[in-house]
Every structure is written in structure tokens, then in C-alpha cells.
Amino acid sequence: MPIEYDDLDRIAGTDRPREIPPFCTACGYNLTGLPSNRCPECGQMFIKVEWQKKVEKLKLIAEELREANWWARAGFFVGIAAVICAGVAVLLRGSWSSVFLAVAGAVLGLCAAFLGLGVFRVPRPPKWGGELLPARDYPSALASLIFGAAVIAGVIWSW
């Protein structure tokens, strides 16, 4: 019995939507186009239910990653706001508004760093699934972390 294609699936709404091919649930070998439903790599039978379960799990990771990427991008802007607050605080040094802005900057910096961290906390996909996921937004995550950490360090140092 050939592998069925009717259940080819999509990771809905991703940046790079791709169909998920039938793959071996034991070793991850891509079984697309094979005449038999036995994995040529490890001999495992293709069991559709098992495959669907794995696809569901991958979709959850994809969802988590999309959210983490979104928050990291938000964190980037929060980080810029933190830098602006801290910068204005330096300009107004000595006044009360300076203290207020420094505290606001530190809080925003903390938020930015926290938002950036999310991207690193999403679990790693199995090796067959990495290609199907949207890319991790490391640039936004790192920018959020660096802006956040720099502002917090600056505020503590200048106190």
C-alpha cells in the first residue's frame, strides 16, 4: 500500500508555510514518493496515527516559536524605549524627572530582556522538523537582551 498524501498538512499561518511530508516516526527519514510504507532507513512501518501525533507536537512548537518571535520583536521596541528613557534621564541628571525616567528605563529594560529570552526557551524541534518551523528570531531576541541589559547596567552604574 503506498503512502497516502491526503493528509499532507500545513503549519498554519507561518512565515514559511510548508507541507509536512510523511516521515518515519522512528528515525525521521522522509518517506515521500516511496512505493512501500516501510522505512528503507530503519525498517519501521509507517503508522499514520503516530505520524499525525508527531505533526501535532511539531505544530505546538511552531505556535510557541511564532509567539516567542513576536514577543522578541516587541521586546526590541521596548528595549529602544528603555534606551530613550535612560538617555533622557542622563540629560536631566539631578532633577526628579531624571530619577523617574531612570527607574522607568530600568523597568522597561528588564521587560525587554525578559521578552528576548523567550526565543531561547522554545524547545528544540526533532531534527526532521527543524526545516518546517519558522526561523528563530535571534536578531530581535539578542537586541532585546542587549538593550535591556545595557540599560539596567547603566542605571545601576550611574546610581
Residue numbers at the binding site for Zn ion (CB under 5 A)? 24, 26-27, 29, 39, 41-42, 44
Name the residue type at position 13: G
Comparing CB distances to Zn ion, the nearer of 25 and 140 is 25
- Minimum distance of Zn ion from residue 22's CB (angstroms): 11
Comparing CB distances to Zn ion, the nearer of 29 and 76 is 29
Comparing CB distances to Zn ion, the nearer of 26 and 117 is 26
Please count the residues of the chain: 159
- Minimum distance of Zn ion from residue 126's CB (angstroms): 13
- Minimum distance of Zn ion from residue 55's CB (angstroms): 16
Residue labelled with grid coordinates 528605563: 105
Give, as one character, the DSSP assignment of residue 13: T
Cell (9 digits) for 70: 513576536
Judged on CB neighbours under 10 Å (0-12, 13-18, 19+), 145 is buried
